[in-house]
Amino acid sequence: MDIPINNSYLVAGPIAAVIAIALFPIWIPILRKFGVMDHPNARKVHSVPIPRMGGVVIFVAFAIPVWLLSPPAADEWHGVLLGSAVALAIGCADDLWSVSAPIKLLSLFALTLLIWHFGIVTHLPLCPKGSLYCMGMNTVLNLLVTMLWLTGVCSAMNALDHMDGLAAGVSIIAAAAYLLVSIQTNQTEWALMSLALVGALTGFLLFNKPPARVFMGDSGSFFLGFALATIGIMGGWSSNPLKAAVVPISVLSMPIFDLCHVLLFRHLSGTTKTLREAIVYCGKDHIGHRLRTMGFSRSATLVMVCFIATTAAISALVIRQANYLESTLLLIQIAMIYITLTVLMEMARRRQNNEKKCD
Mean pLDDT of 105-119: 91
> Can you give the pLDDT at residue 7?
64
Q: Is the pLDDT of residue 228 over 90?
A: yes
The candidate with the shortest Cα–Cα distance to 260, out of 156, 148, 171, is 156
Q: Answer yes or no: is pLDDT of 27 > 70.
A: yes
The pLDDT of 11-29, averaged and rounded, is 96
Residue count of the chain: 359
User: 156 near 249, Cβ under 8 Å?
Assistant: no
| pLDDT at position 292 | 87
Predicted confidence band of residue 345 (pLDDT cuts 50, 70, 90): confident
Q: In terms of pTM, does the model score above 0.85? A: yes
Q: How far is CA 352 from the centre of its chain?
A: 30
Q: State the alpha helices, DSSP H only, in the chain.
A: 12-33, 55-69, 75-97, 101-117, 132-160, 166-184, 188-208, 217-234, 241-251, 253-268, 275-280, 287-293, 298-319, 324-358
Q: What percent of the chain has pLDDT over 90?
A: 54
Whole-number Å distance between alpha carbons of 75 and 272: 43
Which residues on adjacent β-strands are paired with residue 38? 50
* DSSP classification of residue 212: P
Average pLDDT across the chain, whole number: 88
Report the pLDDT value the prediction gives residue 279, as an integer from 0 to 100: 76
Residue 2: pLDDT band by 50, 70, 90 thresholds? very low
What does the pLDDT average to over 225-242?
86
What does 332-356 look like in DSSP terms, one character per residue? HHHHHHHHHHHHHHHHHHHHHHHHH
Q: Where does the pLDDT of residue 4 fall: very low under 50, low under 70, confident under 90, or very high at 90 and above?
A: very low
pLDDT mean over 24-41: 92
Q: How far are the Cα atoms of 30, 73, 201, 358 from residue 19, in angstroms, in the given order?
A: 17, 25, 11, 53
Q: What is the pLDDT of residues 234-291, one digit of tens each?
A: 877 777 878 888 899 999 999 999 999 999 988 888 888 887 787 778 778 889 988 9
pLDDT tens digits, one per residue of 74-96:
677 788 999 999 999 999 999 99
Whether the bond into 211 is cis, omega within 30 of 0:
yes
CA nearest to 95, candidates 46, 48, 36: 36
Residues 6+ apart with CB under 8 A from 105: 151
The mean-pLDDT minimum among 35-44, 150-159, 180-189 falls in 35-44
